[in-house]
Structure formats: C-alpha cells, structure tokens
Amino acid sequence: MIYDRNNIFARILRGELPCKKVYEDEFALAFHDINPLAPVHVLVIPKGDYVSNVDFAASAPDAMVVGFWRAVGATARELELDPLGYRIVANHGPNGGQIVFHFHVHIFGGRQMSHRMGNMPRPNES
C-alpha cells in the first residue's frame, strides 16, 4: 500500500489537526486516542511515512527503529504505567483491524487487561 500523506496521523504530525500530546521527541509523537478503549489509551507514531509495521520494520533507518521503540517506553514511563504494567498493540492491515494507515502502537493501561488478546474489542462491543 502506498503511504497517503493526508491520513489523519500525518495531519496531526504536521500540526494541521490537534492532539492531546503525551510525549514527543525527534523520532515519535505520542497522544491520547480519541476513542479510548481503556482508562489510559495512547498512540505512539513515528515521525516518518510508514504505512504499518511491515514497511516500518523493513524501511526505517536503524536509528528510527531504535528511537521509536525508546519513545514507546518513554511514553509509558511518562504515563506512570510501568509499575502496574500495560499492553502494547499494533494493528496491520484488514485482518489486524487497522483503520489509520500510518504505523502506530497502542498503549493500553489503567486496568487489568483481558486475556482475549487476539480479539481486542472495537468501541461499543463487549
């Protein structure tokens, strides 16, 4: 899939759309999900044109891959999620349930996560 430079997260990165920022550095931006599925639900996105983990892992420079994952950790620390723990998820493609085609990692926290890891509910589903 070709990266769409007008996807929602690209527009947030360019400052064209607002976000509730949690963390930012040269590699990544983290902000609260607009439709939270947990008491804490934050998205971390790389500052680059990557559709999903497939091309992020294949094409991003090493420094970006390292910097991005450090930013995921820094975001969780900023949210003070480390002591009790949290879950990270990245959806890829239709079967993964990906809706926004700019690579992103979800951080879920603030409550005990379900063991139904392969069946993360959509909003309004049980």
Query: Which residues here bind ligand AMP, judged by CB under 6 A?
Result: 8, 17, 19, 33-35, 43, 91, 97-100
Give SS3 for 43: strand
Find the shortest distance in angstroms from Cβ 57 to ligand AMP.
16
> Which is nearest to 31 in space by CA: 50, 59, 57, 11?
11
Find the shortest distance in angstroms from Cβ 19 to ligand AMP.
6
Burial class (CB in 10 A: 0-12, 13-18, 19+), 115: exposed
Nearer residue to ligand AMP within complex by CB, 34 or 57: 34
Find the shortest distance in angstroms from Cβ 112 to ligand AMP.
20
Nearer residue to ligand AMP within complex by CB, 13 or 19: 19
- One-letter amino acid identity for 123? P
Active-site positions read 104
Nearer residue to ligand AMP within complex by CB, 1 or 99: 99
